[in-house]
Chains A and B, each alone.
Chain A
Amino acid sequence: MSDALFTADFAATAWPAIALTLRLAAVTTVLLLLVGTPLAWWLARTPSRWREGAGALVTLPLVLPPSVLGFYMLVLMGPHGPLGQLTQALGWGPLSFTFTGLVMGSIVYSLPFAVQPLRAAFTEMGPRPIEVALTLGASPLNAFVTVALPQARHALLSAAVLSFAHTLGEFGMVLMIGGNIPGQTRVLSTLIYGHVEAMEYAQAHVLAAGMAVFAFVALLALAWLQGRQNSSRS
């Protein structure tokens, strides 16, 4: 068992998968914060009657099986899907089975993990801090950046950690739209699945335990940071 574990073969498959997984999670987290923050602000503030519908749509990935999400993303991005046709017309080719496709899928998949904490924070904050900033001469955008965002910093941190950790563990969706192409779409979760399929339990163990420990440490660090900030705030 230990012989198989430390072969050059294992390292050759594991490291690219780890690197790809981290890159996917990082890119997804950054994009999610850029998309999710204004979306959460809109959901927390708008009097629009579309709000609840939009809110439910954002929450949907939380309850849908990833394979369902992945299936529709595949249909959308594949050579015959509307998005696929658009990207082909632009000369980029279809997005399915590419890293870009994975990123887009991950954004949808982890969207509720970014939006929910931010929406809750913006709702709790209420309109008052922004109104104060406006009467002090800050433009609406400036007030948002200099008052709403700093006051929602705990939620921003939560959104980032949860999005990152959740994207790391993505599996069904990846399999659907990315397949398992080494160096391009083979992430840790699909690699583990491959090892199990091939009865290489030892390798699967190392990777699976690594991921479990990482997720635990990330959540623990988040809880610790927020506990510390809460106690210093009041």
Chain B
Amino acid sequence: MNGMDTLDIDLHLQRPAFALQVQLRLPTQGVTVLWGASGCGKTTLLRCLAGLEHADGHVHLQGIALQDDARGIFMPAWQRRVGLVFQEASLFGHLDVRGNLNYGLRRLPAQAQGTARLALDRAIEVLGIGGLLHRRTGTLSGGERQRVAIARALAMQPRLLLLDEPLAALDAARKREVLPWLNALRQHLQLPVVYVTHAPDEVAHLADTLVVLEQGRVRASGPVQAVLASVDVPVHLGDDVGALVTGTVCGGDAQWGLTRLSLPGLDAESGAALWVQGLSEAQASPVRLRILARDVSVTLTRAQDTSIQNHLPCTIEQIAASADPQQALLRLQAGDTRLLARLTTRAVHQLQLQPGQSVWAQIKAVSLVR
């Protein structure tokens, strides 16, 4: 990585009762989720990237200096072409939906507007807002407003799209309405996205890269599967620690309503696959699953007489003590997939578990991310 395909951030900000100190090198492929409790500095960091606030340091996006204090560069927000979607959609009430969507587009250089128009049409289609174009913004639902705000930001062809808890102001039903649109967008977008949230399900759905912020500092960052499978810095997504697993639909059992998922690096035909209930995805589609550490147990040989359906051959990578001395957290490698297992220290001792040892993981429950 020479800086041409990364977002390099080095920012420091001292406020009364709050300090931000962040150094990050993020990939510009896919969605980076900034995750943390409220007040941890997520929103401030996002505003600094947008150019709405000025912290000390530098921000380089794919080799372009958005800010570089050492060289006296601070590109103002309106010249950055960095889209920002706020928690409340903040649509312009004096314009209709079409007027809102065109606001940024009209401010592009004339020769860029043709391409932007095509991109906007695509965004309108992907976000499903084609029927709203002539509506007044006051008549839209919360979910519709947020989708319009996202399309409006995309219409000015941003170099980077920032989303600041775009679903936080929506109730659960509206949120379920918007999340699939965001997911669809994630698969179509060719630009880097930084997404701020403190909602576990949004991390599980959208994150490719995960950055965990705590009191203005980076506590963990990296590919989402790796960060969530870390036992040194366990990351709780709300309920418990757990791994995020991506599987591919590779068959099913119609009689019992089960779908079989293969995992990368494991031979599904030999039985090393996951069985999941109630899935309607087509053959070969990718599916994200959350497997909580407390739902994974370990056997030395493959258990034959058990009700548990899912068994995966694994290698123990690491055994870490947890805050509770009665419990240990294990990181397991199953093919290319990482799992976490929470066992009692007594069980670890009795089975004489060691890093490097081959074992079987028994998975009691998987939850689909949807």
Residues of A within 8 A of B (CB): 128-129, 131-140, 142-143, 146-147, 150-151, 153, 233-234
Contact present for A136 and B90 (CB under 8 Å)? no
- CB-CB < 8 A to B104: which residues of A? 136-137
B42 within 8 A of A: no
Contact present for B94 and A150 (CB under 8 Å)? yes
Contact present for B78 and A153 (CB under 8 Å)? no
Tell me which of B80-88, B190-198, B306-314 binds A: B80-88
Q: List 27 A-B contacts (CB under 8 A).
A: A129-B92, A131-B86, A132-B90, A132-B92, A133-B92, A133-B103, A134-B51, A134-B76, A135-B52, A135-B77, A135-B80, A135-B83, A136-B78, A136-B83, A136-B104, A136-B107, A137-B81, A137-B104, A137-B108, A138-B103, A140-B78, A142-B107, A147-B94, A150-B92, A153-B94, A233-B138, A234-B138
A147 to B94 Cα, complex, angstroms: 8
Task: Given contact pairs A135-B50, A138-B78, enumerate 15 new A-B contacts (beta carbons under 8 Å).
Answer: A131-B77, A131-B84, A132-B86, A134-B77, A135-B78, A135-B84, A136-B83, A136-B103, A137-B78, A137-B79, A137-B156, A138-B103, A143-B78, A150-B94, A151-B94
Residues of B within 8 A of A (CB): 50-52, 76-84, 86, 88, 90, 92-94, 103-104, 107-108, 138, 152-153, 156
- Interface residue from B52, B81, B92, B103 paired with A131 (Cβ < 8 Å): B52
Residue of B nearest to A131 (CB): B52
A-B contact count (CB 8 A): 65
- CB-CB < 8 A to B76: which residues of A? 134
- CB-CB < 8 A to A234: which residues of B? 138
A135 to B78 Cα, complex, angstroms: 5
- CB-CB < 8 A to A139: which residues of B? 78
Contact present for B52 and A129 (CB under 8 Å)? no
A151 to B91 Cα, complex, angstroms: 11
- CB-CB < 8 A to B81: which residues of A? 137
A24 to B52 Cα, complex, angstroms: 43
A142 to B50 Cα, complex, angstroms: 18
A139 to B82 Cα, complex, angstroms: 14
Most A C-beta atoms less than 10 A away, residue of B76, B86, B92: B92
Contact present for A134 and B86 (CB under 8 Å)? no
- CB-CB < 8 A to B77: which residues of A? 131, 134-135
Contact present for A233 and B93 (CB under 8 Å)? yes
Contact present for A135 and B82 (CB under 8 Å)? yes
Residue of A nearest to B155 (CB): A136
- Interface residue from A131, A138, A151 paired with B93 (Cβ < 8 Å): A151
- Pick the 7 closest A-B CB pairs, nearest first: A136-B104, A137-B107, A150-B94, A134-B77, A135-B84, A134-B78, A132-B90
Instruction: Decide: A128 near B86, CB < 8 A? Known: A134-B78, A135-B78.
Output: yes
- CB-CB < 8 A to A138: which residues of B? 78, 103, 107
A135 to B338 Cα, complex, angstroms: 39
A30 to chain B, nearest CB (A): 23
Residue of A nearest to B152 (CB): A136
A151 to B90 Cα, complex, angstroms: 12
- CB-CB < 8 A to B138: which residues of A? 233-234
Residue of A nearest to B79 (CB): A137
- CB-CB < 8 A to B107: which residues of A? 136-138, 142
- Interface residue from B93, B94, B156 paired with A136 (Cβ < 8 Å): B156
- CB-CB < 8 A to B80: which residues of A? 135
- CB-CB < 8 A to A132: which residues of B? 84, 86, 90, 92
Residue of A nearest to B157 (CB): A137
A203 to B335 Cα, complex, angstroms: 102
Most B C-beta atoms less than 10 A away, residue of A132, A138, A140: A132
B57 to chain A, nearest CB (A): 20
Instruction: Decide: A136 near B153, CB < 8 A? Known: A129-B92, A147-B92, A233-B93.
Output: yes
